[in-house]
Structure 1
């Protein structure tokens, strides 16, 4: 009996400790409650500290905020499980990749009433057609940012990055698929379905521009502002951020098309604080909060209500306004299969050190 009693007592203690340590957000009545902490993993330079501070003050939640510079870095850390992130910000094609690999939780949109502020054009996206796993955050383009102080004629093609006059003054994005997209567009190939031979051709072409390249940099804003970089394969938001400090910075989509993309908010399957993550998403979708995001880094904003109160200066920043025919020429990025992805990554690393 004593053994049975001790066994029962031990079992109850284990269950109690497990419940205390599981970081669940449901209380005994089934009502939702906020967690003490929220683990957010986001692109660098994407949310101002003011927005995080205001959330912490209003909701009493400590936001543990970490950043990354590429989708690949984010995915690797999520898969490693070293940190149980509650919210990540994958780009469109990585949302699909994470869904296909069973890495994301379905979102409870009852906890996100401000989702109604997202424009209709950003619903039912090809990477999440049923709007189950992601919420649009910001969109933009991969194109060409440049400093008009040093480059007098606007670039028109990806080929302009190869201009020998720009030796040591070029920056390229640091993610292999995005660089590959640029290379395949330049060569006239399907960037989302290249053969291995076309991948080889593309990265051989990259080797030719490496002497021009100062850095592979996801956020070359400071380099563009200072004149350290004259021209860059860059995100439109980087150009807009640089333009806020230096009016000589501009951004174009090349004649080959360029790339249109969307960064989304998603909840990894390893998240311990799902409800709090959804409350945070809802907070970011408030028009006045979303406006602050665009003022901090002027990417395209899918929040219609935020756009109504956004200053004209931000609406007219580089990369925010393009004619419809230019936008229609831009391509959506899609992931390659595992074999080609691994081959592409290897070719990219080899080309960078040539």
Structure 2
């Protein structure tokens, strides 16, 4: 029953439990527990759970089944049969967290709603403290972090609210072929309160690539150089200004004004948009791609998502400050062409019209710069 049914048919676990309860056979319960522990020991000792998603699914199904036989009935999992903290510690050292953390999450899921196994239970509290320490470690892969968060959610807790242990930091872990971490880091690491901008950039760049570190000045220069020619070709001069356009030289003045206005706000808008987009993308991926086995596919989705979010956010946030900057720049340039005080009204009118006609062009430049930066 355990190997042929339970391990493969998670949807029928509650039905099987109801059948066992109806039979009310203590020896049967004992045998089922013994076989379940035996199967779990085999899987946890196997190297296949690291690379074979089918074996990881079997492990999760057996974890859910064991939880229904024990925790859901307010019965403990005996440490002589399965010591959860030792299982997690061993997985940390041997690079098996990708399989063990979902198993632990499924096992402890059965604690939900029980009288005995709540967050204050010493056994549960010990496991949660260990998971909290693991969760705050730098560069833990998002699917592993998500599995930990699911475990805490069962008890209505958050990893950040839980006091972590200091057990795992004292241990060495497998370096070669360890797929539990985004990049290789030293085992003794400072605590983190949350994902930083550097983490987000490293996550988007990939484990073998350095995160791009363009400075604001480089970003501004590159973006403007790329769009200078298009500016000169795309600027619009309203037909109502035809009489003044030749006199004021608007065809050469407007591109210069757009360039100055964009330069003034480009760096802060782009940096802010990209940073927010990276944070948002990480949070979305932790939920939507938690069970995605292909890291390359997940990373490609991250790049597409962060580029789209950064561009859209930059477009929304840049319009008002760009309008102010462009109007001020046009006013200054036009005042040099029409220094007379009597022409002040004309300057304001021309600046307003030209700004409205070319605002979308400036916004498009900033949107493209944010997309390229992301």
| Larger fraction in strand | 1
Q: TM-score, normalised by structure 2?
A: 0.25
The structure, 1 or 2, with the larger RCO (C-alpha pairs under 8 Å, 6+ apart) is 1
Q: TM-score, normalised by structure 1?
A: 0.26
